């Protein structure tokens, strides 16, 4: 859905970076992963889902939220990814995971393949129809910066739609390192 106001992707992620608590898991995929890795030193509870099975950030997030009910799990997904796995929103509600937050960074395009338009959807409407009760949408950086923490703190599962600008020329993210080693470090960090 086209909107007049969109948040620059990096700005949207910078807000999350800034407000994120030390015990919160953040899962990033595709464009969000690419930009997240530029923001600073990786956090022990970052799960950079590169490589990924596209669309499955929400599913991995569901699994983590179930396994770690005491930790908030925040999934950053693109709209193209989410469209590939819309049913996961129903799965999330069925699992009753109050500690899971899904943030869709909706830029309306498949960014890394050349900005082809996605089929798109009213993601907040889909989330509500699947049973999400905590649903939030932001179209400008100031509102997101002001409202992000309370959206994350709402009793979940929580769905947030951010209308973001596509990154012209944005490419697929590079893997930050061997997955087996990263998985091992992530598991150890969760155990602390």
Partner 1 sequence: MFSGDQIASLLSEVGVTHVITVPDSTIGRWEPAIERTGRIRLVRVCREGEAWQVAAGLYLGGATPLVMIQCTGLFESGDAIRNALHDWKVPVFSIVGYRSYLDQAKLPGDTCLVFTEPILDAWKIDYRLITSPSELHVIRDHLLSCRNAGKAGAALIAE
Residues that bind partner 1 (CB under 8 A): 47, 51-54, 56, 59-68, 85, 87-88, 90-91, 94-95, 179-180, 183, 186-187, 190-191
What is the maximum span of the chain, computed from C-alpha positions, in angstroms?
44
Our CB check for partner 1 shows the closer of 65 and 137 to be 65
Give the nearest distance from C-beta 18 to partner 1 in angstroms. 25
* Shortest Å, Cβ 66 to partner 1: 6
Kindly tell me which of 4 and 181 has the beta carbon lying closer to partner 1: 181
Q: Please report how close the Cβ of residue 190 comes to partner 1 at its closest, in angstroms.
A: 6
Residue with smaller CB distance to partner 1, 59 or 139: 59
Question: Could you write out the DSSP letters of every residue in the chain?
Answer: ---S--B-HHHHHHHHHHH--TT-EEEE-HHHHHHHTTSSSPPTTEEE--S--TTTHHHHHHHHHHH-TTS-EEEEEEHHHHHHTTHHHHHHHHHT-TTEEEEEEE-SEEGGGT-EEP----HHHHHHHHT-SEEEEE-SHHHHHHHHHHHHHSSSSEEEEEEB---TT--PPPP-S-HHHHHHHHHHHHH-
Choice between 37 and 66, CB closer to partner 1: 66
> Closest distance between partner 1 and the C-beta of residue 68, in Å?
5
Q: Which is nearer to partner 1, 87 or 117 (CB)?
A: 87
| Shortest spacing between CB 102 and partner 1, in angstroms | 13
Vertex 133 angle, CA 141 and 14, to 5° = 25
């Amino acid at each position: 859905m086209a909107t007049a106001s969109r948040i620059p992707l990096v700005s949207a992620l910078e807000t999350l970076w800034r407000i994120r608590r030390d015990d919160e898991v953040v899962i990033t995929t595709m464009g969000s992963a690419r930009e997240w890795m530029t923001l600073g030193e990786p956090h022990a509870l970052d799960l950079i889902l590169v490589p990924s099975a596209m669309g499955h950030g929400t599913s991995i997030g569901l699994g983590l939220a179930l396994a770690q009910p005491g930790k908030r799990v925040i999934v950053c997904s693109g709209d193209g990814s989410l469209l590939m796995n819309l049913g996961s929103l129903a799965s999330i509600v069925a699992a009753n995971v109050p500690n899971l937050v899904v943030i869709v960074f909706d830029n309306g395009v498949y960014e890394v393949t050349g900005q082809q338009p996605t089929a798109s959807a009213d993601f907040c409407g889909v989330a509500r129809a699947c049973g999400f009760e905590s649903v939030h949408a932001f179209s400008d950086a100031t509102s997101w910066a002001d409202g992000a923490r309370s959206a994350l703190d709402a009793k979940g599962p929580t769905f947030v739609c951010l209308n973001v600008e596509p990154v012209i020329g944005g490419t697929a993210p590079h893997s930050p390192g061997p997955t087996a080693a990263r998985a091992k470090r992530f598991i150890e960090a969760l155990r602390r």
